[in-house]
Structure 1
Amino acid sequence: MDFVEIDGPVPESDVIAAEDKIGHPLPEPYRTWLLHHGGVQVDDMAMPTPDGNGVLLTFDRPYDLAHLYRRGFNTWIPPEYLAISGGAGGAVCIRLVGPDTGAIYWADYDITLELGLDEDEYSEDIMTHLTDDWNTFLDTY
């Protein structure tokens, strides 16, 4: 995956503050990657979505992760996941808890209309498993 760092590494205190606000530790190795890279821009990368309309543009910095958790479009994402990206049509998410903690998913915002979700409803049905962990995601996409 080709990306351009926005501001470079972030201090651990930023990651800890984000984890405190989210209420869960960030899974390794994503947490380590975040410390080394902070937020990054991605070259309009198409995501493998059921309708083919997802585009990845950025990976968020710790402050944004915490600020956007369970807000805006992210209210459609079940609370066990954290949206870690910005883009169009959805978000790349990391599983925070459960048997597949650390797995990477795509949250497809475009199918929320088909499901009839209100703005404050979430559904596992919008989640598509991409990879079992962060490093595999980086190697695959």
Structure 2
Amino acid sequence: MMKKVSGKFVTAVCMLVLAGCSATPTKPGDAAPGIVYNKPETTVQKAAVDALVANGFVVSKSDAEYVEGARPHKVGLVVGSGGESAGVWLSSLGSDKTAVKVSTAKSLAGIAGQKNWDKEIIAEMDKSIGSHQ
């Protein structure tokens, strides 16, 4: 009985440690390039959510001007992959234009097996709502 309880405890602690190791994406500065869609902000926000999900992210926040998600950690042979977080910032430029900036953050746990997902997220948004400027 004690062995079963301690095994569950170790599993719970490991899950908390891995969850705590995820990085928070930071908004790219004003000088960083962004893209513009000729679509209203609500349409682009939905496309951002769909793009994160299509790329294996679990969406944790979805507001009118910000969408965030994280990829679950996976254990590999040498280095685990996953654990990346991505943020999509939206700015309305009028009723039919929305500026977008995407940023991927890598966590300390498994950083060697992680990648930048910015291009894949934008490509998936393009598939959903058409190409950007």
Decide: shared fold, TM above 0.5. no
User: Which one has a larger percent strand, Structure 1 or Structure 2?
Assistant: 1
TM-score using structure 1 length: 0.30
TM-score using structure 2 length: 0.31
Q: Report 1 or 2 for greater relative contact order, CA contacts < 8 Å, sequence distance ≥ 6.
A: 2
